[in-house]
Amino acid sequence: MSESIAKNLVKLLERCGVKAAFGVSGGFIVPVWEALTESEKIKIFHCRHESGGVFSASEFSLCQQTPAVAFATAGPGISNALTGLRAAKLDGAKVVFISSITSVDPSRKWNLQETTVQNVDNLVIPNGRGYFDEVITISRKEDYSAVEEKLRKGLNKKDGYVVGIFLTTKAQQEIIDYENYEELPLSHDKLDENVERHSREIADLIVNENAIFWAGFGARHASNLLTQIAIKTNSRVISTPRGKGIFNEKHSLYVGTSGLGADTESIYNALHCPSLSTVIIMGSRLGELSSSYVQNSLNKVKVYYIGLNAHEVKENLPPHSVLIDSDIETFLTSIDACIAEEIIPSGQMEAIPALHGSNSNKFYSDVAKDVLHPLDVMGVIQEIAIDRFDCYVASEAGNSFVWTNRYLKFSNPLRYRTSTADGAMGHYACGLVGIAASKERCVVGIIGDGSMLMSNEVSTAVGYGLPAIWLVMNDAAYNMCRQGLELLGNSELDCHIPQVDFALFGQAIGATGYNVRNIKELRNALINAIEEKKTAVINVLIDKYVFPPLNDRIETLKKLKAEEV
């Protein structure tokens, strides 16, 4: 049998479980673009910007736990996509990025959008850095023979894989002969003797001593196991922002969320309790926005880190930490087996009072100001989007992230999405498309006005009829920058944004638009938007002079500045 490389590559992607592709077309990738469009198994979403396409592919991959494709043309198509690719790699997504090289070597003629093998090879940097885990270039049909083995090997990994496949336009159209596909065997996780020893050791500690689990997004597949073990052993749990909901945040054993916007006192007291003997960290690099580096003060307790590629986190942990390079679910299964015969009282469920709503009459907004206090916005989102409709919720970089990290509570894993590694503005103003692409449930994005003006994919969501809601926290400012300058004692700089009617903006491109200035209007708008399951933009006018819980971030900046000096 014979067909073009472009068509064969798409069939390979189908066999690898790809269900969606996001991107922007261009002349250099027409053959692949056409093959993707003809696929009956891969739904293609033609986006408005390359970064929006990659953000969407990354979010689809993480929410659906399956590989996704992003595509862009050569030259600026690739460079526009780099921020999204960097975020996808740091977030642990499985993304196959397809683009083009125009030539193997530089022509020295300055051809339009010229992209060479050297250009794309430089996007891979060892030790977890760079934009790709691997780059595959195909300039002639002989280069294609090794693609399937490389692609399947990478996508079979549990810890994410971002690969760039770059083909010349000629190579995309090359005709190849191929045989019937035979499934390659999947690898199975197996604990080595050293890991088994550590699992018995940790099991003994959590049964007989006071221990805390600190869970990040990488532990999402082990949510049920973690919950079961924590309750059996009466062990408390902290989560990182991306780990919200992996352990029920309304459970009495839940300490809080670490990092930017954290309840600093609760986290610090739990980690420095005199009786604490052990901290077990899993599935997080504990970067700045995930931890505020509080782990560096863990000098008097045992510290274990569990996760794949543990060596990449070594420099961000106390020197005495024990690194266990293992799949988290496999390791926790071993721990659970070690404690199976112990009889330990289970933790009890305790409800955490809502910010406000049907169970409380406490509100924060000043009616005279005709704007909403951000805490009231959080209260309505908790009441309507989370507790009533069980929506996906995503928070954009900036103050939106700080408010949501501190005040929203999730009982289910994979309902909350944020990115703490790259902190790219526009990530969720665009990535809502990827979260909503399956149409299984509504997604509410909590987006700053600055991010909305920088980049968004509302038009794409309208085009595909997606149940995505952009809830814009509109304070007419780059407010995290403005407030940060004030808290650091710096001079005031230009952080003003002319007031924008985002409801009218949404309506102009086909979405339903709502303008909101009080709690009643917000509740009605959010309920209507969720029940309609259509693309919507809710323009929420908020009080710009209310400070979010930024103290951790400010103190971290001061410490980092002092270290540089």
Tens of pLDDT, residue by residue over 294-303, are 999 999 999 9
- 235 with 288, same domain? yes
Over residues 118-134, mean pLDDT: 85
Who has greater pLDDT, 70 or 126? 70
Checking if the pLDDT of 187 tops 60, the result is: no
- 493 with 540, same domain? yes
The bridge status of strand 2-4 relative to strand 175-177 is antiparallel
Residue type, 270: A
Mapping DSSP to helix (H, G, I), strand (E, B) and coil, where does residue 166 land?
Answer: strand
Over residues 505-533, mean pLDDT: 97
Checking if the pLDDT of 400 tops 70, the result is: yes
Mean pLDDT for the chain overall = 89
For Cα atoms 207, 208, 213, give the angle at the middle one, nearest 5 degrees: 55
CATH code, domain carrying 256: 3.40.50.1220
Last residue of a domain, one of 177, 206, 221: 177
394: closest CA among 454, 319, 337, 456?
A: 456
pLDDT at 109: 67
- Residue 564, domain member (yes or no): no
**Element (DSSP H or E) covering residue 513:** strand 512-516
- 289 with 384, same domain? no
Q: How confident is the model at residue 555 (pLDDT cuts 50, 70, 90)?
A: low
pLDDT at 237: 98
Mapping DSSP to helix (H, G, I), strand (E, B) and coil, where does residue 215 land?
Answer: strand
179: closest CA among 2, 426, 19, 353?
A: 2
- 405 with 540, same domain? yes
- Rounded Cα–Cα distance for residues 88 and 81 (Å): 11
Residues of the chain above pLDDT 70, percent? 90
- Residue 274, domain member (yes or no): yes
- 388 with 481, same domain? yes
Over residues 455-462, mean pLDDT: 97
pLDDT at 420: 87
Checking if the pLDDT of 443 tops 70, the result is: yes
Q: How confident is the model at residue 487 (pLDDT cuts 50, 70, 90)?
A: confident
Who has greater pLDDT, 23 or 262? 23
CATH code, domain carrying 548: 3.40.50.970
Over residues 136-141, mean pLDDT: 93
pLDDT at 118: 87
- 135 with 167, same domain? yes
> What pLDDT digit, counting tens, does each position of 523-532 carry?
999 999 999 9
pLDDT at 193: 62
- Residue 456, domain member (yes or no): yes
Dump strand ranges (E) for 396-457: 416-417, 443-448
- 16 with 163, same domain? yes
Q: Could you tell me the residue range of the domain that residue 478 belongs to?
A: 367-552
- 200 with 300, same domain? yes
Contact 473, 497 (CB under 8 A): no
> What pLDDT digit, counting tens, does each position of 536-548 carry?
999 999 999 998 8
DSSP string, 54-119: HHHHHHHHHHHTS-EEEE--STHHHHHHHHHHHHHHHHT-EEEEEEE-SBSS--SS--TT--BHHH
Q: How confident is the model at residue 363 (pLDDT cuts 50, 70, 90)?
A: confident
Checking if the pLDDT of 356 tops 90, the result is: no
For residue 32, give every residue at least 6 positions away whose Cβ sits within 8 Å of its Cβ, in sequence order, or none. Answer: 6, 9, 10, 71, 98, 167, 172
- 64 with 143, same domain? yes
In the chain, the number of structural domains is 3
- Residue 386, domain member (yes or no): yes
- 52 with 133, same domain? yes
Residue 139: phi and psi, rounded to 5, are: -110, -15
- Residue 345, domain member (yes or no): no
Token reading at 112: 């339009």
Mapping DSSP to helix (H, G, I), strand (E, B) and coil, where does residue 539 land?
Answer: strand
- Rounded Cα–Cα distance for residues 31 and 27 (Å): 9
Checking if the pLDDT of 210 tops 50, the result is: yes
- Residue 224, domain member (yes or no): yes
Contact 110, 128 (CB under 8 A): no
Checking if the pLDDT of 340 tops 80, the result is: no
Checking if the pLDDT of 25 tops 80, the result is: yes
- 36 with 166, same domain? yes
Count of all residues that appear for the chain in the document: 565
Residue 94: phi and psi, rounded to 5, are: -110, 100
Checking if the pLDDT of 560 tops 60, the result is: no
